[in-house]
Amino acid sequence: MVGEKKVTWFTFALYAFIILFSFSIIYPLLHIFAVSLSENHYILSRQVTFYPRGFRPNAYIMIWEATGLARAYFNTVVYVTAHTMLAMFVSTTAAYALSKSKRLWGFKFFTGMILFSMFFSGGMIPLYLTMRAYNLINSPWAVIILYCANPFNIFVMRTFFTQMPQELEDAGKIDGLNDFGVLWHITLPLSKAVLSTITLFYAVAQWNAYLTPFIYLTDREKWPVQILLRQMLLAGTSFSNEANNLGADSMLLGESIINATIIVSIIPMIVIYPFIQKYFAKGIMLGSVKG
């Protein structure tokens, strides 16, 4: 009986902690969403909590019409899609090659080189000079190409691939498949968990990327949504003319527009994540059982 009571109290405390922790994460998002849709005088008097007070979607209308968010949104989608596809191609082929340690010439050299890059880098200035030498300044390719081979992701995928039964590869070779055929027709269909997980890593990192486009993109028409969000956080009052046309004031600009932009910028990741969440933990655990 004593043991059962301890388990009951522990379970109760665990659920209470999870609920409080979840609330601490969800409440800021609800508050931001509520502020973006609330009437101005409710925002001024700090009466908005986790639901809108006086429904008013003017902030969303304004950011789409006056700030170029639609263009920035399109740029971000292009950058994320292209970067993720390229990163997955590079990481998958590199991980598959490293998983064939017995047949890969220079296995220790390539493994050491990739591992070395996890802890050391050339630095920001040498990287900038390199990008300038290749005429990639103010080019979308600077955002797409950079960091498309993450060493951690490569080693996770490599560990996952090494757990594939050798008999499957042998059967594919008997049927006339080469290494690329085995990878495409056998290995990848059986690796949905780790592929979904690593894809999520690359996509989220690129969607939230701020420093790289800030350094290499100078043309406003090429900015992603994160850079535009920064500009609004620093200079939200620059949209006062548009706000006056809608009957808003500077506080609406300082609160509603910024919060509406935050909501618009995070919606895609919130929508996509539930569909691949079931693969997330599974992919990481399967890719970290043994080195």
Give the whole-angstrom CA distance, residue 75 versus residue 222: 6
Phi-psi region of 35 (alpha: psi -120 to 50; beta: other; left: phi over 0): alpha
pLDDT digits (tens, 9 = 90+) for 19-57: 999 888 888 888 888 888 887 777 777 778 777 877 777
Residues 79 and 18 in one domain: no
Q: What is the CATH number of the domain that holds 272?
A: 1.10.3720.10
Give the whole-angstrom CA distance, residue 52 versus residue 60: 14
> Of the ranges 2-11, 66-75, 178-187, 246-255, which is most confident?
178-187
Residues 137 and 158 in one domain: yes
Residue recorded with tokens 């001024």: 44
Residue recorded with tokens 């486009």: 213
Residues 52 and 85 in one domain: no
Owning domain of residue 269 = 68-291
Cβ(222)–Cβ(74) below 8 Å = no
Cβ(198)–Cβ(91) below 8 Å = yes
Residues 32 and 78 in one domain: no
Residues 249 and 166 in one domain: yes
Residue 123 lies in a domain: yes
Residues 102 and 222 in one domain: yes
pLDDT digits (tens, 9 = 90+) for 267-291: 877 777 777 666 665 555 554 444 4
Residues 208 and 93 in one domain: yes
Residue 61 lies in a domain: no
Residue 147: which residues within 8 A CB-CB, separation 6 or more?
A: 87, 205, 212
Give the residue among 190, 203, 189, 164 at the shortest CA–CA distance from 84: 203
Residue 14 lies in a domain: yes
Residues 145 and 282 in one domain: yes
Give the whole-angstrom CA distance, residue 235 versus residue 215: 19
Residue-wise DSSP of 237-272: GGGHHHHHHTT--HHHIIIIIHHHHHHHHHHHHHHH
Global pTM?
Answer: 0.77
Residue 62 lies in a domain: no
Residue-level pLDDT at 253 = 52
Number of domains into which the chain is organized? 2
Q: Which helix (H) or strand (E) holds 163?
A: none
Examine the pLDDT at 218 and tell me if it is beyond 90: no
Examine the pLDDT at 252 and tell me if it is beyond 60: no
Residue recorded with tokens 């802890």: 119
Residues 106 and 13 in one domain: no
| Structure tokens belonging to residue 39 | 């009437």
Say which residue, 68 or 172, is predicted with more confidence. 172
Residues 105 and 125 in one domain: yes
| Structure tokens belonging to residue 74 | 């399109």
Among 15, 32, 56, the domain-final residue is 56
Residues 35 and 139 in one domain: no
Give the residue among 191, 169, 166, 197 at the shortest CA–CA distance from 182: 169
Query: How many CB atoms are closer than 10 A to CB 16?
Result: 10
Examine the pLDDT at 215 and tell me if it is beyond 50: yes
Residues 46 and 90 in one domain: no
Residue 243 lies in a domain: yes
Our separate counts of H helices and E strands in the chain read 16, 0
Residue 63 lies in a domain: no
